[in-house]
Amino acid sequence: MNVAVEEPTLATEQREAHAAARKRARRRLLTFAGATLLVIAMLGFGGYWYSTGRYLQTTDDAYVRADWVTSSSRVPGFVAKVEVEDDQAVQAGDVLVRLQDRDYQARLQQAKAEVAEAEAALVAAQALAQVAGERITQQQQAIVQAESLLQSANAERRRSQLDVQRYQGLVRDSAATAQRLETANASAVQAQAAWQGAQAQLRERRSQLAMANAQASYAQAQVKQRQAAQASAQARLLLAQQDQQDTLIRAPIAGVVGQRRVRAGQHVVAGQPLLAVVPLQQTYIVANYKETQLAHMRPGQPVRISVDSFADRQLQGRVASFSPASGNVFALLPSDNATGNFTKIVQRFPVRILLDQPLEGQPILPGMSVVTTVDTRPAEPADEQ
């Protein structure tokens, strides 16, 4: 009976020993497989890190930006009508706000009248200058005539003097009468007087020419003065036209209206912000990278972008430029590390990133948070042709 009991017990022990051996073998196999997979994973991760991962620079300190423009009035006045609503899309040149322009229309008409008056005064001054020029020409011709008369009188004077000398000799020789000599003397006196009169007339003509030149200079000065007055009136007209046109406040760029603070009937002053125009089609990203991440970062490198609002969508972009200084330098109150205890803080530099293509069907609004990953791997050289 003991033999029968021992035989099943021995068989059971053998089966249990085989089962334990199989478990140990399976455990060793699983351990080896797990170790192999871990080694493969480590090798794969190491290969990825060596070839790609070490070149990727990521930050979540990144936001969508847009160069939005605040529209303001260039002239003071009361708002007649607001042509746009909040969040309305507008194109460049669209009218946003209309100001009452009655005063500016009156000033424009006044400026036009001043221009017309200045132009009439200029025409009159030019006519006077032309008359002065003609007077100079007239006096010049009179001087030529007076010089001719002077030359004729001088010739007659010389002839009469020679007659007197000739008759004096003839009278001494009793070849001519004394009456003939007296007639020659009278003719000589008349010729001398005529010559002196011609000289006086020539001096008078020259004096009149000088007066005419002075009047012409004055007339030219009047013309220049009237031209300056006309230019001043035209400048005032241009300013009046600009002021009248500035009563229409237009969109400087295409975008979407925001921050609308203006209402009809409100009085606005020059330079007062009225509303903003945000160009949603020209958004970009500013990513604030640590200074330790910038060593291999260059413009043109590809960027993978993940917008928090659309986490399931991936965008692609390019590094455009780097800020010339850290954000701390441009801060309103930059820190002064030369005072107090010094604690080194890694600085961040804004990096501008441009999108290759906008997100289809979804607007990327300024202020949205994003995660950017810059691939800093060096560009592969182009294949030789």
Tens digit of each residue's pLDDT (9 = 90 or more) over 63-90: 999 999 999 999 999 999 999 999 999 9
Record the tokens describing residue 361, joined without a space: 């069907």
Structure-model confidence comparison of residues 345 and 238, the more confident one: 238
**Residues 108, 75: Cα–Cα separation, whole Å:** 14
Tens digit of each residue's pLDDT (9 = 90 or more) over 302-316: 999 999 888 788 889
Note the pLDDT of residue 2: 47
pLDDT exceeds 50 at position 7: yes
Most confident of 327-336, 340-349, 367-376: 367-376
Record the tokens describing residue 39, joined without a space: 């080694």
pLDDT exceeds 50 at position 50: yes
Parallel, antiparallel or unpaired: strands 56-65 and 248-250 = unpaired
Note the pLDDT of residue 52: 65
Average pLDDT over residues 4-18: 67
**Residues 378, 51: Cα–Cα separation, whole Å:** 11
pLDDT exceeds 80 at position 360: no
pLDDT exceeds 50 at position 385: no
Give the domains, in start order, of the chain with CATH numbers: 53-67+280-332+344-379 (2.40.30.170), 69-99+247-278 (2.40.50.100), 103-243 (1.10.287.620)
Average pLDDT over residues 90-106: 94
Average pLDDT over residues 138-154: 78
Note the pLDDT of residue 135: 82
Closest CA to 310 of 88, 68, 64, 66: 64
Looking at this protein, which amino acid is placed at residue 200?
A: A
Record the tokens describing residue 303, joined without a space: 């960027």
Average pLDDT over residues 240-263: 93
pLDDT exceeds 50 at position 235: yes
The answer to whether 244 and 76 are in contact (CB under 8 A) is no
Average pLDDT over residues 190-211: 79
